[in-house]
Structure formats: C-alpha cells, structure tokens
Amino acid sequence: MALVPALPPQPVPVFSGFDYVTVDAQRRRVYAAHTGSEALLIVDADSGNVLGQVRVGPLHGVAVDPATGHVFTGNGTDDSVSEVDPETKTVLRSADVDGKVDAIAYDPSNGHIYADEDDGTRIFVVDAKTMKSIGTVALPGHKPEYLSVDPQSHDVYQNISDLGEFVVVDPSTLKVKQTIATAPDVTNNHPLQYDPAYGHIVVGGKNGTLAVYDRRGKLVGKTAIQPSVDQCSLDPQSHEIACAGSGQITLLRDEPSGAPQIVGTAKAARGAHTLGIDSKTGNVWVVWSEEGSGDFVQALRNAK
C-alpha cells in the first residue's frame, strides 16, 4: 500500500530544519522542533495550517502533557527543559539541567520529565509540577538517542546508540536496572518506541533494521526498512509505526508476536527524518527542509 497526501504541504516560515515531532490528537495539534529557528512549531491537525511558532531556544525533543495540553521541550545547548503554553504561545517556565538535551519523554503519572543528554552519559529528570531538577540517571556509553516510558510500570527505556543496546531505568531509584543488547544487525540505534498493549520495545538501527523486543529483552522479530532512519512514531491504538529517513517513510504494524509488518510506504524529501502519528485519524505528519525551497509540514494517509 502507498502513503498518499491527506493535506497539501504547508510552508513553514524561515528555512532552518527540524527535529522531533509529536501529535496531541485530543486537542488536534501537531508540534515540531524547528531547530534552526529555535522555535516550537504549532500546526492544526485537521486543516494542516501553521498556527504559529513559539521562540523557545535551540530545542530538540518535544512532549505533551495530556492533562493541560502544554508542551515540554528539551533545549539543546541551552541546557534546559521548558514548558510552553501553545494557546497563549508563551514559555511558562524553564528548568536548568547540567548538560545538552536531545530527546525527552514525559510520564504524567509521576510528573517526571526525562531528558537525555545529547552525546552524553546521563538522563536528566525534572519534576513537571515544580519545574525543578530532581535527579540524574547515569548511563553506559556516550550516545543516548531516543527514550520512551511504560505507562504501567513507569520504567523508562533508553537507547544507547554507540553500544548497540537499550537500558531499562527504574523510575523510583533513577538507576539502570537492566541492559538489553540489540541484534547484531541493529546498529547505531536511533528510534525507540513502546507499545504498551503488547509490552513491546521497538528499536530501529540506522543501518535499516527495525527490531521488536518484549519486556524481558527477548527478540520478538525484526523487519528490514530503509537505512538512516532517525525518528519512528507509534500509535498505541492501531499499533502502527511510522519511520522516516533516506527519502522514504515506511508505515509498519506491530504484531502481538513476530516481526512488524510493512503496510505502506511513500517517497519523501531527503531532509525528512522526523514525524508523528495522529492516533485519531491515522495520518502521518512529516516535516522537512529543502534547500532552495524552504521548510514544510504535511499529513499523509494510508491509501488502504
């Protein structure tokens, strides 16, 4: 099956490039880190219209608080995590941390914001209620990539790219309690997602393999996809996983057992490496930069 345009591409002011994308399906908003502009991009998930940008800083990771709709951002070389109100388009509060921030994840049950250190050895933990640092997780290796939270156990799963593994962090002790080496053909780990209904950790290698593990660290199955994938996004309701990189978007479906199945593909701009799935419509939102043309955001749908 092919992924086809659900809405026309929309230009984004200022040519600067993007990092992580997330979708607030409840409030019909798409958010992306517009990195060069140091701004949070806000898009209407129904019309595709760009609603504005909020100047935050050199942000990378983005996560939504489902209770308030506020957006948490990991602010790269500003060494901070911020809380943004997308309705008033203002930065409400910021918390300083002891290093550069890349990806972030939020656990609404305990109010922890987990921010991994870009090319570092730590996860910084911030209390969303007080916006104060409450601890640091020491990690193996020197290149954490993406991370995800188990909503039931509240464990944190963190990719360690340079060691070819992911670790499980205890949310109470803020210590690594388990290390799982990924398959030999999963190298330079980048994307990581968690499917809570199946208890699956989905890990992608930059070499072009997407592998699924259970919570014990057992390999469930793996599927060949395009290389150089950066971000994957998982819809926990449909179990669909969208991955971007190498001028392609691949849509897969996580299975209760066995390897994920490819259900759709689409060509994409070479600069497209991050995306997000809207769990209400199933649309895949992708952002990209094209030198000479500009920056864009667009929704794709699976032509089933």
* 3-state SS track over 123-182: EEEEECCCCEEEEEEECCCCCEEEEEECCCCCCEEEEEHHHCEEEEEECCCCEEEEEEEC
Q: Looking at residue 292, what is its pLDDT?
A: 86
Q: Looking at residue 270, what is its pLDDT?
A: 87
Return the higher-pLDDT residue of 293 and 177. 177
* Predicted confidence (pLDDT) at residue 228 exceeds the cutoff of 90: yes
Average pLDDT over residues 206-229: 96
Token reading at 176? 């690594």
Token reading at 233? 């996004």
pLDDT band at residue 287 using 50, 70 and 90 as cut-offs: very high
State the Cα torsion 231-237-238-242 to the nearest 10°: -10
- Tell me the CA end-to-end span of the chain in Å, nearest whole number: 6
- Is residue 290 within a helix (H) or strand (E), and if so which, with residue range? strand 284-290
* Predicted confidence (pLDDT) at residue 203 exceeds the cutoff of 80: yes
CATH number given to 3-302: 2.130.10.10
pLDDT band at residue 15 using 50, 70 and 90 as cut-offs: confident
CB neighbourhood size of 129 (10 A): 7
Token reading at 129? 């209620």
- Nearest Cα neighbor of 51 from 34, 66, 63 is 34
Query: What percent of the chain has pLDDT above 90?
Result: 95
32-60 per-position pLDDT tens digit: 999 989 999 999 999 999 999 999 999 99
Q: What is the DSSP string of 26-73?
A: TTTEEEEEETTTTEEEEEETTT--EEEEEE-SS---EEE-TTT--EEE
| Antiparallel, parallel or unpaired: β 240-245 and 90-96 | unpaired
- Nearest Cα neighbor of 50 from 25, 29, 78, 22 is 29
43 close to 30: Cβ distance less than 8 angstroms: yes
- Nearest Cα neighbor of 263 from 300, 213, 302 is 302
17-32 per-position pLDDT tens digit: 999 999 999 999 999 9
pLDDT band at residue 1 using 50, 70 and 90 as cut-offs: confident
Q: Looking at residue 291, what is its pLDDT?
A: 86
* Predicted confidence (pLDDT) at residue 304 exceeds the cutoff of 80: no
The pTM score is 0.97
55-87 per-position pLDDT tens digit: 999 999 999 999 999 999 999 999 999 999 999
